[in-house]
Homo-oligomer: A and B are copies of this chain.
Amino acid sequence: MRATVRLAPEIDGDAAPAPSVAPRDHMEAARLPHVVVVGGGFGGITVAKALAHAPVRVTLIDKRNYHLFQPLLYQVATAGLSPAQIAAPIRTIFRGQKNATVLMEEVSGVDVAAREVLTGASRVPFDYLVLATGARHSYFGHDDWEPFAPGLKTLEDATAIRARILSAFERAETERDKTEIARLMTFIVVGGGPTGVELAGKIIEIARHALRKEFRNIDPATARVLLVEAGPRLLPAFPEVLSRDAKKRLEKLGVEVLLGQPVSACDVMGAVVGGTQIPASTILWAAGVASSPAARWLGVPADRAGRTIVGSDLTAPGHPNIFVIGDAASAKSANGKTVPGLAAAAKQQGHYVAQAIEAKLSGRATRKPFRYTDFGNLATVGRNAAVIDMGKLKLTGFPAWVLWSVAHIFFLIGFRSRLTVAVDWIWSYLSYRRSARLITGASDPPKPSS
């Protein structure tokens, strides 16, 4: 999920609207239709908030207690931000919305016939169900690569990747063998989408700037950072001119960009890229995405990535009261285009579904199909550049980076997060340092078998 530049923080815990329906009378509240939303990402939060004034009870279920601002997750993985800066407690977001209940539970399935969501110990009945369960990374059938090439979807992923990157330099400092030092200081990022581009750009910045003068036996600036993409260009969702710009900028920073070179193996010693074995201790996976099992729960068709193929009204086929949105869904916009896996798309779907539920409740005529409005796409490239595609307007370099920074700070939930992220970014920009250079947890990279 990635943010776009649409400047309107629709999800905001600080400004929760007063609900028109305050179910103080429990007898009355119990008679209200029950909307269950699974998943507290951009899509799920938007649906639940948009129903604040509807005559419904809303229950939002997530296995985490926080909403994660995923577009900045790579900054936690690269020691720029702390987890709490990009995560807001879901309960706080709904503090003022009296028709909403938040449950921290892991959903294990859906009993479609009984209209119940199954969690660990209980069954939650629903009248309307919204599955906004997101995605994990996919290894295209090579799940055995995961221990050697972790992906980036959760805060735990991010702190583990952070520990792995920083530990590689620490190990190199204590190592004597030159071949092993070179392997420890080689970083391979697999996948040339925005996350891969952002990770590669930040790792080279850490090596060349943040760690400068801090080691005595190695020179971190000699680290190799490889960005590997199986397709012909970086950022395939962007116009080709921006792909070329991003490649040029990354190479200027020192990243080795390998295009048209698929990865055919990952193990403890490194990766095979385009048929060549590259010794590397740190491989990061930013390539494939696999949807959560919403389609399997419902017993409906999914696309190759596991996403539920939804109708033009975002319902699952044959289930007019069950919606699937965000990365869990494969949806077509009314203009025929495929809805992209962006935060903005999930939010738009969330608003659409809230309105669809209200329309169904009031017995109004069938609504128009969902239409995705494209406000653009953006990605950062290294320290102070970005590429932005807003249709006719294409921005690159420093102005794009400033716009990117402002947009992302604006979209963050909560005043405090915005303030501290701004402080950290300004500090980091001026000092070249990273705010959160901690190796925590049991996050050792796999050890060489030698």
Contacts and interface: CB of A to CB of B under 8 A. Distances in A.
Interface string A208-230: 00010111110000000000000
Contacts of A436: 82-84
Contact of A420 (B102, B211, B423, B439): B423
Contact of A84 (B82, B122, B156, B423): B82
Contacts of A84: 82, 435-438
B433 A91 contact: no
Interface string A416-450: 10011001100100010101111111000000000
A258 B104 CA distance: 33
A174 interface: yes
A369 interface: no
A267 interface: no
Contacts of A173: 102-104
Interface in A11-25: none
Interface string A68-101: 0000000000000011110101011011100001
A170 B94 CA distance: 15
Contacts of A174: 103-105, 121-122
Number of copies: 2
Contacts of A387: none
A64 B213 CA distance: 19
A305 interface: no
**Interface residues of A: mostly helix, strand, loop or mixed?**
mixed
A139 interface: no
Given A65-B170, A91-B215, A424 B433 contact: no
A440 B104 CA distance: 13
Nearest to A103: B174
A441 to B, nearest CB: 7
A374 to B, nearest CB: 33
Contact of A213 (B96, B170, B415, B419): B96
A155 interface: yes
Contacts of A217: 101
Given A65-B166, A155-B440, A424 B416 contact: yes
Interface string A148-188: 00000001100100000011001001100000000000000
11 contacts: A65-B437, A82-B85, A84-B435, A84-B437, A89-B214, A89-B437, A91-B211, A92-B433, A94-B214, A156-B441, A420-B420
Interface of A: 64-66, 82-85, 87, 89, 91-92, 94-96, 101-105, 121-122, 155-156, 159, 166-167, 170, 173-174, 211, 213-217, 415-416, 419-420, 423-424, 427, 431, 433, 435-441
